[in-house]
């Protein structure tokens, strides 16, 4: 089932973004519940990169019908309203989480592979956080400063993850 909209096309099993001049077309990978956590993270990461490359925002999500949005939200384990809210923030909104994890010496790929649901929750909270400017400023000025612990909605989980032994740290 195709839905036509100026500058973008939507398909039931994924999102295909295409500019009118036909230069670029990106596809959302299907996320299957039976897939391993790493495969799910890889699929979500690929979709996110494709989405970023297409310059997507809420307007591209709006080209899809309600059924397609509901299906994508279901695949990601969130309500459609939250998916729209996250899309409105743009694909770069969760980048601060990756920077904070790197500062804590947490391998985001290993965390995503080991605890996919937890990693998705971390990304969601970071994306919806209202302290982005303060976080970016703190990471830019002094990444080792503990001031982020006062405003970050992920502080408890990041501290918990930091206390665990990780293979990437050779702590096993």
Q: Is residue 8 within 8 Å of residue 17, measured between CB atoms?
A: yes
89-102 mean pLDDT: 85
- Percent of the chain with pLDDT strictly greater than 90: 33
**What CA–CA distance (Å, rounded) separates 44 from 52?**
12
Q: Is 115 in contact with 37 (CB distance < 8 Å)?
A: yes
Contacts 24+ apart (CB under 8 A), 7-15: 8/60, 8/63, 9/63, 10/63, 10/64, 10/65, 10/68, 11/68, 12/67, 12/68, 12/71, 14/47, 15/47, 15/51, 15/60, 15/64, 15/68, 15/72
Q: Report the mean per-residue pLDDT for the chain.
A: 75
Determine which of 22-31, 37-46, 85-94, 145-154 has the lowest per-residue pLDDT on average: 22-31
Per residue in 105-127, pLDDT (tens digit) is 999 999 999 999 899 899 989 98
- pLDDT in the model for residue 94: 80
pLDDT value of position 50: 67
Structure tokens at 79: 């309500």
Sheet (strand 2-5) strand order: 2-5, 8-11, 14-18, 25-27
pLDDT, residue 43, reads 76
Question: Which pLDDT tens digit goes with each residue over 21-44?
Answer: 344 334 444 444 555 666 777 777
The model carries a pTM of 0.59
Average the pLDDT over 82-98 and give the result. 82
Domain extents in the chain? 2-89, 92-169
Strand partners, 17: 26
Reading the block at residue 35, the tokens are 């897939």
- Distance between CA 111 and CA 89 in Å, rounded? 23
Q: How confident is the model at residue 166 (pLDDT cuts 50, 70, 90)?
A: confident
């Amino acid at each position: 089932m195709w839905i036509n909209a100026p500058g973008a096309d939507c398909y039931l099993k994924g999102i295909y973004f295409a500019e009118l001049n036909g230069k670029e077309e990106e596809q959302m990978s299907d996320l299957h519940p039976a897939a391993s956590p790493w495969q799910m993270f890889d699929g979500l990461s690929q979709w996110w990169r494709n989405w970023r490359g297409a310059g997507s925002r809420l307007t591209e999500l709006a080209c899809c019908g309600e059924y397609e949005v509901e299906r994508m939200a279901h695949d990601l384990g969130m309500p459609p309203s939250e998916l729209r809210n996250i899309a409105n923030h743009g694909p770069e909104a969760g980048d601060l989480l990756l920077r904070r994890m790197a500062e804590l010496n947490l391998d985001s790929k290993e965390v995503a592979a080991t605890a996919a649901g937890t990693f998705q929750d971390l990304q969601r909270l970071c994306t919806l956080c209202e302290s982005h400017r303060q976080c970016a400023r703190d990471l830019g000025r002094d990444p080792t400063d503990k001031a982020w612990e006062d405003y970050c909605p992920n502080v408890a989980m990041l501290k918990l993850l930091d206390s665990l032994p990780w293979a990437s740290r050779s702590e096993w």
